[in-house]
Amino acid sequence: MNALPSTAQVAVIGAGAMGAGIAQVAAQGGHPVLLFDVREGAASRARENIVGALSRLVEKGRLTAETAEQIGNAISVVDSLDAMADVDLVIEAIVEDLDAKRAVFCQLETLLRPDAIMTTNTSSVSITSIAAPLRHPERFAGMHFFNPAPLMALVEVVSGLATSTQTREVLLATAEAWGKKPVRAKSTPGFIVNRVARSFYAEGLRVLEEGVADVPTIDALIREGGGFRMGPFELMDLIGHDVNSAVTRSVFDAYSQDPRFKPSLIQQELVAAGRLGRKSGRGFYDYAQGAVRPEPATGVAGNAPKRILVAGDLGVAEPLLDSFAAVGIEIERVPGEGVIHLDTITLAFTDGRSATLRAAQESLIDLVLFDLVLDFGQPSRIGLAKADQTSDQALQDVVALFQQACWKVSVIDDAPALVVMRTVVMLANEGADTVLQGVASPADIDQAMRYGTNYPRGPLAWADAIGGTQVLQVLSNLQHHYGEDRYRPSSLLRRCALTQRKLLQARSH
Ligand code: NAI
């Protein structure tokens, strides 16, 4: 299907943060754009801000003055919906309210040409419900941009029950022509990103609630070890706890209070206290001038071994051995279950059991577990947890091994699946259920998470790299540990693990 031609007129309704950004994107795509807002002067101010943003791009040498002028001139402010009779595409970005949105589209439908497409930028209202009162709901869809729209590449093109394939495909092609990375999604609560990303916050909050590690340590493990751009607490502080917890609550309620999306009491307390994050000067961190950022915990080192024994294959963690070899640690290999021995100490990659349980089950005294990292071949920060039976000296010797190989080490309490592994398997599990329920294809889910939230790797591709069997084992052990439905493995994940099929190749509707 072809994109709308650049001569096609685009109307943007609502000139707030999102509407202004979307108007800029459409104008940069070469379209004449009409911008409307009910608030007196809001659309003109938005236009001035866009022109200001464009001139800053000119100053930075990213845009020629001529192009900036063309883009600015392409945006016209209009003072009523009546001015939109001839447009080809409408993108609505008004308040997040079903009745207000329906009212706009019911009025527009009487004005527009029959072939014009209508879209909403809603994050949380059902596309099917907004379209319900329309006479032609087949030409209506969601076009969900991310903030700031000119910079974020992802657009979720969301089909309601009645959206036609033609409408969806024109929108996908048009978003692509605008330089975006569009994905197809079915209208379900949270679409792709706002649903799958819930686990990123939820698991961070969960380990914090359990006192496994403090805020800066969890953030550092996720950021430095997991390779995410920000840790969960830094990111929630940036988004604002009022906004973040409202999205969580709306997804939780929309999925009939599924415990996977359960809101966190810690976050509710922050909202109640008015500690909304950066915008209020305080959230998990203090943003007052001169406030000092607390440091993540660093493990105390004992004696690094000169030699280790590796029993079996470490799977995705295998490149870790290169970092040990690189600093002259001698490695002897023998067949086995995939663990490392430092004399009497056993060092193992987490399988979702707590170290204490695993040590008891395997009759080990000195057992230390390590967490997942994005790239085991590149020393970054890694989390370690020891069993309750394990001596402090044993833990310190393992810390020394990693530190000698240039890893930063944070020791955390003995939580099943530590921090990064738990977060990644829960993201993948949610992604798998999103595929299973026909909301989006595996490739689109990964693309959405990479471009809508800047994850370093799509969660499904990441789970495939860890291995379906291991991911399933980690989730099953988490579920067993907590006895909670929250950690139930997706049946799609089970099927893939049984047949060694990659999640990225899993069936999609
Ligand atoms: P905003 O509050 O910054 O802007 C909304 C604008 O719509 C205001 O200027 C308001 O005067 C105007 N407005 C309200 N009712 C109107 C009507 N009936 N006709 C014309 N204009 C009207 O809100 P924001 O953040 O730009 O969000 C807009 C939409 O985009 C919402 O549906 C929101 O859920 C969605 N969204 C927001 C994101 C964000 O990060 N802020 C991200 C993605 C989607």
143-170 residue pLDDT tens: 999 999 999 999 999 999 999 999 999 9
Q: Give the pLDDT of residue 79.
A: 96
- The residue-averaged pLDDT of 170-175 equals 98
Tens digits of per-residue pLDDT, 404-430? 999 999 999 999 999 999 999 999 999
Q: Which atom of ligand 1 is nearest to the CA of 13?
A: 20
Q: From the CB of 468, is ligand 1 less than 6 Å away? A: no
Instruction: Kindly state whether residue 257 falls inside one of the protein's structural domains.
Output: yes
Tens digits of per-residue pLDDT, 371-415? 999 999 999 999 999 999 999 999 999 999 999 999 999 999 999
CATH no. for residue 26?
3.40.50.720
Instruction: Say yes or no: 360 and 476 in one domain.
Output: no
According to DSSP, the β-strands at 339-342 and 367-370 are: unpaired
Instruction: Kindly state whether residue 493 falls inside one of the protein's structural domains.
Output: yes
- The residue-averaged pLDDT of 189-193 equals 97
Pocket residue to mutate for ligand 1, from 24, 35, 37, 47, most atoms within 8 A of Cβ:
37
Q: From the CB of 121, is ligand 1 less than 6 Å away? A: yes
Q: Give the pLDDT of residue 1.
A: 80
Three-state secondary structure call for residue 53:
helix
DSSP 364: -
Instruction: Say yes or no: 345 and 381 in one domain.
Output: yes
Tens digits of per-residue pLDDT, 28-74? 999 999 999 999 999 999 999 999 999 999 999 999 999 999 999 99
Residue 349 in this model has a pLDDT that exceeds 90 = yes
Q: Compute φ and ψ for 386, nearest 5 degrees.
A: -105, 155
- The residue-averaged pLDDT of 441-462 equals 98
Q: How far is the CA of 21 from the centre of ligand 1 (A)?
A: 11
Q: How far is the CA of 55 from the centre of ligand 1 (A)?
A: 24
d(CA 188, CA 350): 33
d(CA 142, CA 181): 15
Instruction: Say yes or no: 317 and 406 in one domain.
Output: yes
Q: From the CB of 17, is ligand 1 less than 6 Å away? A: yes
Q: Which atom of ligand 1 is nearest to the CA of 97?
A: 32
Residue 188 in this model has a pLDDT that exceeds 60 = yes
307, two tokens: 């030699």
Instruction: Kindly state whether residue 121 falls inside one of the protein's structural domains.
Output: yes
Instruction: Kindly state whether residue 301 falls inside one of the protein's structural domains.
Output: no
Residue 507 in this model has a pLDDT that exceeds 80 = no
Instruction: Kindly state whether residue 134 falls inside one of the protein's structural domains.
Output: yes
CATH no. for residue 252?
1.10.1040.50
- The residue-averaged pLDDT of 226-253 equals 96
Residue in 325, 327, 388, 393 with CA at minimum distance from that of residue 360: 388
Cα 288 → chain centroid: 28
Q: How far is the CA of 20 from the centre of ligand 1 (A)?
A: 10
β-bridge mates for residue 346, sequence order:
341, 367
Residue in 492, 501, 498 with CA at minimum distance from that of residue 439: 492
SS3 assignment for 105-127: HHHHHHHCCCCCEEEECCCCCCH
Q: Give the pLDDT of residue 261.
A: 96
How sure is the predictor about 367, in pLDDT bands with cuts at 50, 70 and 90?
very high
Instruction: Kindly state whether residue 318 falls inside one of the protein's structural domains.
Output: yes
d(CA 325, CA 55): 52
Instruction: Say yes or no: 36 and 148 in one domain.
Output: yes
How sure is the predictor about 508, in pLDDT bands with cuts at 50, 70 and 90?
low
- The residue-averaged pLDDT of 454-470 equals 98
How many Cα atoms occupy the beta-carbon half-sphere of 308 within 13 Å?
29
Q: Give the pLDDT of residue 338.
A: 96
**Can you tell me which residue has the tokens 């989730």?**
475
d(CA 132, CA 496): 37
Instruction: Say yes or no: 250 and 332 in one domain.
Output: no
Q: Compute φ and ψ for 231, nearest 5 degrees.
A: -75, 165
Three-state secondary structure call for residue 445:
helix
Active site residues: 123, 144, 156, 194
Per the prediction, the chain carries an average pLDDT of: 97
Q: From the CB of 106, is ligand 1 less than 6 Å away? A: no
Instruction: Say yes or no: 398 and 311 in one domain.
Output: yes
CATH no. for residue 386?
3.30.750.190
Instruction: Say yes or no: 178 and 249 in one domain.
Output: no
Instruction: Kindly state whether residue 82 falls inside one of the protein's structural domains.
Output: yes
Q: Give the pLDDT of residue 325.
A: 97
Three-state secondary structure call for residue 341:
strand
369, two tokens: 């577990």
Instruction: Say yes or no: 164 and 69 in one domain.
Output: yes
CA quadruple 451, 456, 462, 466: dihedral, nearest 10: 180
Domain that holds residue 405: 307-411
Q: From the CB of 300, is ligand 1 less than 6 Å away? A: no
β-bridge mates for residue 370, sequence order:
349, 384
In the chain, the amino acid numbered 357 is L
Helix %, strand %, coil % of the chain (to 5): 45, 15, 40
Q: Which atom of ligand 1 is nearest to the CA of 147?
A: 40
Total domains in the chain come to 4
Instruction: Say yes or no: 107 and 128 in one domain.
Output: yes
β-bridge mates for residue 144, sequence order:
156
Q: From the CB of 243, is ligand 1 less than 6 Å away? A: no
